[in-house]
């Protein structure tokens, strides 16, 4: 089955497009492409790309050479297999794109594959060529659309040898409990859409202030110092307290009533105890004998 689709970029990353200038007069710094053999500047149109053969020899390839490579995925998204979506290693995923139907006639097969992927919680492992580079890609259903995310080849993913701690580390149950409590507190009412790029905002404000001749507010950077964690439990406790302070939980009505009832019972019990103590310490007059 063939479905004509179009590829759309799915991201618009935050960038601060700075450029190099001469510090003294602000003049732009330009780079020239110079041939190391004759010292002459070379225009971009005369620049080719060279590759190194296994024996070290240099081979120059033109765009025509690259266009003639036998790539079946040159103009198609070639589906290799359908796999369990949860079984894909996130480390292999790279740049995301949106896939949209290219023609009105493609709408029905597009919806069919979208619903089939969503209903089975599966994803399609594919091959696709972007520019002149063939890449693995993952096609998934997300809401009303299909998404495509390029992937690394399996041999491009490095093994994490020697990274995990080699010492015997013992975690106490109390530490696990405090860590879980910290995670629960920080997860309360969290919405990823509310997270913003504070660095980019600060950068924009700094550029605007400098451009208008104003004095930007001083940015205070907290110095964390050396991270020598001696007592993990105390650090976790402090973190939980700080998180609870920043994320206070509203008291439930049932909890308030329970506390009020308990307090009333405690007060009654205390008063009863005092009365009993007073009665037991009362001195009775002794009977006179003889």
Q: Show Cβ contacts of residue 282 under 8 Å, excluding neighbours closer than 6 positions.
A: none
Cα 44 to Cα 41, 80, 131, 260: the distances in Å are 10, 38, 19, 81
| Spatial distance between the Cα atoms of 275 and 13, rounded to a whole number of angstroms | 74
Q: Which of 65, 92, 75 is nearest to 128 (CA)?
A: 75
249: its two tokens: 């939980």
What is the rounded CA–CA span in Å between residue 96 and residue 137?
Answer: 9
- Most distant CA atoms of the chain, gap in Å: 141
Cα-based distances in Å from 163 to 91, 143, 153, 168, 222: 16, 38, 22, 14, 29
Using a 10 angstrom Cβ sphere, with 0-12 exposed, 13-18 middle and 19 or more buried, the burial of residue 106 is middle
Q: What is the pLDDT of residue 216?
A: 60
Distance CA 124, CA 136 (A): 10
Contact between 106 and 5 under an 8 Å Cβ cutoff? The reply is yes
pLDDT value at position 279? Answer: 43
Q: Given this model, what pLDDT does residue 61 score?
A: 82
pLDDT tens for the chain, 290 residues long, are: 677 888 888 888 777 778 888 888 889 988 889 999 999 999 988 888 888 888 888 888 877 776 666 655 456 788 899 999 889 999 999 999 999 998 898 899 999 999 999 999 999 999 988 877 888 999 999 999 999 999 999 999 999 998 888 889 898 998 899 889 888 888 888 888 888 878 778 777 777 777 777 766 654 444 444 444 446 667 767 777 777 777 666 655 545 444 544 444 544 444 444 444 444 433 444 444 44
Q: Which phi and psi (to 5°) does residue 141 adopt?
A: -95, 130
Given strand 122-130, what is the order of strands in its sheet? 5-9, 93-101, 145-151, 133-142, 122-130, 78-84
Q: What is the pLDDT of residue 71?
A: 58
């Amino acid at each position: 089955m063939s479905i004509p689709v179009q590829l759309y970029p799915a991201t618009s990353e935050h960038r601060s497009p700075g450029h190099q200038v001469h510090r003294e007069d602000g003049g732009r710094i330009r780079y020239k492409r110079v041939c190391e053999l004759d010292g002459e500047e070379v225009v971009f149109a005369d620049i080719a790309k060279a590759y190194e053969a296994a024996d070290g020899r240099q081979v120059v390839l033109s765009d025509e050479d690259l266009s003639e490579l036998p790539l079946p995925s040159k103009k198609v998204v070639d589906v290799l297999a359908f796999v369990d979506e949860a079984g894909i290693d996130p480390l292999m995923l790279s740049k995301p794109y949106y896939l949209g139907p290219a023609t009105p006639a493609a709408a029905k097969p597009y919806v069919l594959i979208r619903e089939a992927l969503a209903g089975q919680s599966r994803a399609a492992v594919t091959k696709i060529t972007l520019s002149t580079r063939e890449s693995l890609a993952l096609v998934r259903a997300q809401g009303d659309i299909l998404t495509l995310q390029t992937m690394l080849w399996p041999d491009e993913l490095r093994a994490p040898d020697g990274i995990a701690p080699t010492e015997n580390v013992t975690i106490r149950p109390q530490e696990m409990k405090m860590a879980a409590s910290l995670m629960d507190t920080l997860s309360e009412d969290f919405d990823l859409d509310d997270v913003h790029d504070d660095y980019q905002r600060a950068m924009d404000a700094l550029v605007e202030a400098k451009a208008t001749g104003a004095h930007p507010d001083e940015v205070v950077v907290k110095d964390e110092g050396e991270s020598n964690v001696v007592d993990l439990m105390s650090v976790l406790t402090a973190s939980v307290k700080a998180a609870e302070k920043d994320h206070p939980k509203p008291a439930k009505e049932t909890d308030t009533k329970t506390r009020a009832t308990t307090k009333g019972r405690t007060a009654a019990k205390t008063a009863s105890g005092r009365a009993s103590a007073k009665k037991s310490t009362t001195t009775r007059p002794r009977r006179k004998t003889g």
